Structure 1
């Protein structure tokens, strides 16, 4: 990646959302709540975290306003996240408003615990893509990793998602050495059986208890080799750079396999992602050490031009990459559930 100028000057006031490295941001992750009904060991403590008050999280209208603003600035991919987004009762309304924007690709990432009753309403709201976070296909191991005996609920949620006829039902699996790294082939089999897109995500240092260890990272290449030994794979041609490197099954079976090697092979050079946390903090990188408050100015009466200025200036200052593999790496102060997936 080309280094930015020593003094890149002020942020552009018009045109696409761009940083000093020439990356154009068009993918926005909006967290609608920080609360979660699981206590995943790689994310938060067993007792949970201090939750935001109801008046601290963005209202439905504030989320709608920001989504519309980012849309006018070029965002076309929107992911609704949490915490666990289904914990928020207005989720179908929020999804409906974002899906009403023209020419957008909208998805929701959920742990699937209540998807059995929400798949229908979300589909009716216009959603056509859903991602379920699932790290084990074994009930006892799922309970150990999430501290909840709820695997049957996730199974029911996936079944409901298939029956709701979403265009895409994706599964995200965080792989941890010595915990669930022996399940790659089982997940591939699930993809083949039901036509799911399964994405394996390298274990990242985003847990609230800061117990992440590099030795527990399973490289994406290793996961692919394990699956390919059982089910030969062939690469999927992608029109534009994506975080996940995707593969189809060589024998023509349905479903796809992908890896997101955020640790061993970061995709920072082509990153087009932005994030808004549940309380309205704008983050230009998952591992950012600084945030820009959008909620405060909104509630103080700022117009869209002022919000756009804040967004452009924050993005203009985006760094080259997250430095996980550098000796001066500094972990963000927030865990994944507080940031938004």
Structure 2
């Protein structure tokens, strides 16, 4: 079992398979992109499978595959097949922009991988295209509706961006009226490859909630696990639900059960901290499962208590892009 220095059990790993993405969302990276990692710096699929097996042996029972956009890797389904075979791994999920997932939906369903987070920051086509800098709205919307219709547990992640998409908050919420889907509204975070700097945000989770309350004053709170990053709600008569994620306000740090591993092997114990080490190098140099497991234990034994504490320790952390951190 993985337990950090604040007695928090770590049972959830966000595992990035690539830092590349086929969209250029303006809150994530500059229009020209970032310096993406060379292929030899990325984990191979075999290495990702072995790493996952070691993590599960240490008590990890939930793995979320992230990127970049995971499905830009042509061999991704090989990893999903491996994950689906691991005993003790109770939940496998993926975060995607839903542009490339279409051809893989049937096999994901067959493997029992039914938890999909779709990053979609606008329901209005023009707004969507301005934010993503790409013309992919129809593909994303069609894949989204297909996933919902075919029984996947779909969560839409919508980042509230001042001056860009807040007019889409209520229209996006309308999806939960007609579909059994969860829409989660996230606070903007400053991990954008250095394209924008800010110390505060206008659209924090309280502002988002008040905006929704003005239209739907009778929504009520749902019970959520202690480790949940989202605070979840339901509007009477609606099929789905909605939530807010205080990703900038960081109200959920006390129960954090997550570990991030980037596509290049950086072990990230807090989103607002710098990497603790590079586990890919250890994989390739030591070739010892026990050494890898020991290094993971060392990484979580020195975690910051909160994201605010981590931010104070590490200067320049906001120069990173979310696509290189791992979603």
* TM-score, with structure 1 as normaliser: 0.90
Q: How does 1:62-81 map to 2 (within 5 A)?
A: 62-81=47-66
Match of 1:205 in 2: 190
- Does the CA-based 8 Å contact 2:274-2:314 persist in structure 1? no
Counterpart-to-counterpart distance in 2, 1:191 and 1:153 = 20
Once the two structures are superposed, residues 262-307 of structure 1 have per-residue CA deviations (whole angstroms, 9 ceiling, x without a partner) of: 2224311111110111111211111212331111121123311111
CA 1:327–1:65: 2 relative to 1, 3 Å: closer
1:335 lines up with 2:317 in the alignment: no
Match of 1:164 in 2: 150
1:252 offset after TM fit, Å? 3.6
Once the two structures are superposed, residues 220-271 of structure 1 have per-residue CA deviations (whole angstroms, 9 ceiling, x without a partner) of: 122122223323311111243311011122x242111111112224311111
Match of 1:181 in 2: 166
- Does the CA-based 8 Å contact 2:14-2:260 persist in structure 1? yes
1:306 to 287, 291, 294: 291
Counterpart-to-counterpart distance in 1, 2:297 and 2:233 = 35
1:322 lines up with 2:303 in the alignment: no
Match of 2:128 in 1: 142
- Does the CA-based 8 Å contact 1:96-1:126 persist in structure 2? no
1:209 offset after TM fit, Å? 2.5
Counterpart-to-counterpart distance in 2, 1:326 and 1:335 = 15
Counterpart-to-counterpart distance in 2, 1:272 and 1:50 = 30
CA 1:325–1:307: 2 relative to 1, 3 Å: closer
2:141 to 155, 174, 186: 155
- Does the CA-based 8 Å contact 1:42-1:212 persist in structure 2? no
1:99 offset after TM fit, Å? 2.3
1:246 lines up with 2:232 in the alignment: yes
Greater CA deviation, 296-305 or 62-71? Answer: 296-305
Counterpart-to-counterpart distance in 1, 2:186 and 2:5 = 28
Counterpart-to-counterpart distance in 2, 1:196 and 1:337 = 25
1:331 offset after TM fit, Å? 4.1
1:111 offset after TM fit, Å? 0.4
Match of 1:123 in 2: 109
The count of residues paired between Structure 1 and Structure 2 equals 324
1:340 offset after TM fit, Å? 0.5
CA 1:159–1:117: 2 relative to 1, 3 Å: farther
CA 1:320–1:304: 2 relative to 1, 3 Å: same
- Does the CA-based 8 Å contact 1:205-1:331 persist in structure 2? no
* TM-score, with structure 2 as normaliser: 0.93
1:44 lines up with 2:11 in the alignment: no
Match of 1:110 in 2: 96
Q: Which runs of 4+ in 1 moved over 3 A?
A: 214-217, 324-331
Counterpart-to-counterpart distance in 1, 2:118 and 2:214 = 26
CA 1:213–1:75: 2 relative to 1, 3 Å: same
- Does the CA-based 8 Å contact 1:323-1:329 persist in structure 2? no
- Does the CA-based 8 Å contact 2:273-2:311 persist in structure 1? no
1:161 offset after TM fit, Å? 1.2
Match of 2:274 in 1: 289
CA RMSD of aligned residues (A): 1.9
Match of 1:269 in 2: 254
The structure in which a higher percent of residues are helix is: 2
Q: How does 1:57-96 map to 2 (within 5 A)?
A: 57-96=42-81
Q: Runs of 5+ in structure 2 lacking a partner? A: none
